[in-house]
Each structure stands twice: as structure tokens, then as C-alpha cells.
Amino acid sequence: MTLARLAERWRAEADILRRRGASVQADVLLSCAGELDGAATEAELEALTLAQAAEESGYSVDHLARLIRQGKLRNAGRPNAPLVRRGDMPRKPSRLPGPEGVTHLGPRSSRQVVRAIAQGGDQR
């Protein structure tokens, strides 16, 4: 399950809770879904150094630099100090999210996502 699907599921569950009279709990779940969406968007927009992007993407620093020079990858930094937005960078197939929805963005289960949001950090 992707993070976007998880947030969508939490919103659907919040609707059910609200119909059953649990408005406070529904509001909490909606708040968590909104924070999850915001964190995912922020992570996708984060500008990474080529070394950081190489580690996350599985491609080498040289390959990413070549893609920037060729105009195939947008430079989010300056000409002599390139940066790559996480959401723009390519990923080797071995680095793509798995069927369980494990991504580079952090926690691996919905319980861990809720804990991370509640505690304001990544709980691996």
C-alpha cells in the first residue's frame, strides 16, 4: 500500500467513524491523513545532493550528473552545485516500492506511520 492509499483509507475510515457517532476519533484520523499527505509531499519536493540521490536511487553520482547535463533530469540547484528533487529522480527497479508499499519515505506499517506522525519523527 502506498502512502497516498493509506491516507485515502484513513479518510474512508474517518467517514465511517463519523457516521457511527465517533466524530472526535474521525477528526483525529483526518488530521493524521492530512499530516501524512503533507509529509509525503514535502519528502517528494526535498532537494538532495547527488550523493544522497545516488544512495536513494541506486544510480551513481556520475550517472545522475550526466542526466542533468543532458537535460533528462532537472537540476534543482545551481550549475556547479546540482541538486535533485526526490520526486524527480529515477530509481533502479530494485529501489522501487515493494508490494507491501515499503518506500524510501519511512515507516513500514500503518501503525508505524501513526507512531511517527504522533511523535514527529521516523520510527523504524
In which residue are the cell numbers 530494485 written?
A: 94
Span 89-115, mean pLDDT?
62
CB within 8 Å of 108: residues ≥ 6 apart: 100, 102, 124
Residue-averaged pLDDT of the chain: 85
Residue 91's identity, in one-letter code, is R
Length of the chain equals: 124
Q: Summarize pLDDT for 100-110 with one digit per residue, the tens.
A: 444 444 445 66
| pLDDT for 35 beyond 50 | yes
Q: Summarize pLDDT for 44-87 with one digit per residue, the tens.
A: 999 999 999 999 999 999 999 999 999 999 999 998 999 999 99
| Three cell numbers written together for 14 | 474517518
